[in-house]
């Protein structure tokens, strides 16, 4: 397929804020996959694959390091731009939660130095203040997000559709462009706007679609902003209409499925954020995301029939 072959030949366009580099210089993205052997439910590993491929199609070099129980983040040669932390069951969270305390200082420092973290479900919960299980066990988090989770008897399992927080929408629009034909792009925007007209959406870039499966109810601190507002599904707790959390470049959510392959706008936003900490302002070359947006469209149609 020609459009896919063209991805591997793409050049990267970027400009530096703080220094000058040769226009032919290669960009490098260093990814840390946290606890992939213990926290990898519902296709979460697909997020790593999506980031790697979207970088490779643009000629960006990528390294992925798997960091698990007993591994240190303090070694001087680790300088990660992007951390991914997937979901797991309560028993895995207990194991990981204890080890994570040893990595807390390094992860907090990484966030303050503008590294990107994408955490999903169990990983999201462990970056909060604490998770109290249904049987009363307290799993201490590391407090990157001022939030906590309480186990419940309610199983929140369904496709989850959210409208992205307006403060992030404009940044995503700047970071993401697609090579899809103008007519196809216009048709998709019209279909989405017609389906959810009451939400005053401007197009597909304003929403995220994923799959949630959790019984923990997450409650955000008063100064912590959510990733978005629930359109269909439960989100953080099924009560206040919020989903996920954002602190600096750290993002937490319940969007399994995998999230990034069928939300290419959010994937490119995170990639841009991660590269900017090392290189300054980045403008990624657009890719042909026709297949990705077809998957996105199919997924958003499912919640409407539930």
For the chain, the structural domain boundaries read 27-304
CA distance 186 to 169: 18
Cα-trace Rg, the chain: 19
Known catalytic residue at 253? no
Q: Residue 186 has what pLDDT? A: 54
- Residuewise pLDDT in 10s, the chain (306 residues): 333 434 433 333 443 333 333 444 689 999 999 999 999 888 889 999 999 999 999 999 999 999 999 999 876 566 899 999 999 888 899 999 999 999 999 999 999 999 999 999 999 999 999 999 999 999 999 999 999 999 999 999 999 999 999 989 889 888 887 765 444 445 555 655 555 555 455 555 589 999 999 999 999 999 999 999 999 999 999 999 999 999 999 999 999 989 999 999 999 999 999 999 999 998 899 999 989 988 988 888 775 444
Residue of 33, 148, 256, 265 marked catalytic: 256
Residues 6+ apart with CB under 8 A from 198: none
Of residues 19, 28, 34, the one with CA closest to residue 250: 34
Of residues 135, 133, 121, 141, the one with CA closest to residue 258: 121
Q: Residue 11 has what pLDDT? A: 36
Residue of 121, 214, 253, 296 marked catalytic: 121
Total residue count of the chain as it appears in this document: 306
- CATH number (3.40.50.880, 3.90.550.10, 3.40.190.10, 3.30.365.10) of 27-304 reads 3.40.50.880
Kindly report the backbone phi and psi dihedral angles of residue 64, in degrees, each rounded to the nearest multiple of 5, phi listed first.
-120, 125
Residues 6+ apart with CB under 8 A from 59: 10, 11, 12, 26, 27
Q: Residue 264 has what pLDDT? A: 93
CA distance 96 to 70: 10
Is residue 137 within 8 Å of residue 107, measured between CB atoms? no
Is residue 303 within 8 Å of residue 161, measured between CB atoms? yes
- The whole-model pTM stands at 0.87
Q: Residue 193 has what pLDDT? A: 59
CA distance 57 to 249: 24
Known catalytic residue at 77? no
Quote the tokens at residue 25.
């210089």
């Amino acid at each position: 397929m020609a459009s896919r072959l063209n991805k591997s030949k793409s050049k990267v366009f970027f400009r530096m804020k703080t220094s000058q580099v040769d226009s032919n210089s290669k960009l490098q993205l260093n990814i840390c996959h946290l606890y992939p052997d213990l926290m990898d439910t519902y296709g979460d590993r697909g997020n790593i694959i999506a980031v790697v491929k979207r970088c490779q199609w643009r000629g960006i070099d990528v390294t992925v390091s798997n960091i698990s129980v007993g591994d240190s983040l303090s070694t001087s040669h680790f300088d990660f731009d992007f951390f991914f932390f997937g979901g797991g069951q309560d028993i895995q969270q207990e194991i990981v939660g204890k080890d994570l305390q040893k990595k807390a200082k390094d992860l907090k420092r990484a966030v303050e130095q503008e590294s990107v973290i994408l955490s999903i479900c169990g990983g999201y919960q462990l970056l909060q203040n604490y998770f109290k299980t249904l049987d009363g066990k307290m799993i201490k988090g590391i407090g990157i997000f001022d939030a906590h989770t309480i186990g419940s008897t309610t199983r929140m399992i369904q496709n989850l559709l959210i409208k992205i927080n307006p403060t992030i929408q404009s940044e995503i629009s700047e970071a993401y462009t697609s090579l899809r034909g103008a007519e196809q792009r216009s048709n998709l925007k019209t279909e989405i706007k017609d389906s959810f007209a009451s939400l005053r959406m401007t197009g597909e870039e304003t929403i995220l679609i994923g799959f949630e499966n959790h019984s923990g109810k997450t409650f955000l601190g008063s100064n912590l902003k959510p990733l978005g507002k629930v359109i269909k599904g439960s989100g953080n707790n099924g009560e206040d209409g919020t989903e996920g959390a954002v602190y600096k470049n750290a993002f937490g959510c319940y969007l399994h499925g995998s999230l990034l392959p069928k939300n290419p706008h959010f994937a490119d936003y995170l990639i841009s954020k991660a590269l900017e900490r090392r290189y300054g302002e980045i403008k990624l070359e657009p890719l042909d995301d026709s297949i990705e947006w077809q998957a996105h469209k199919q997924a958003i149609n499912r919640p409407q029939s539930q």
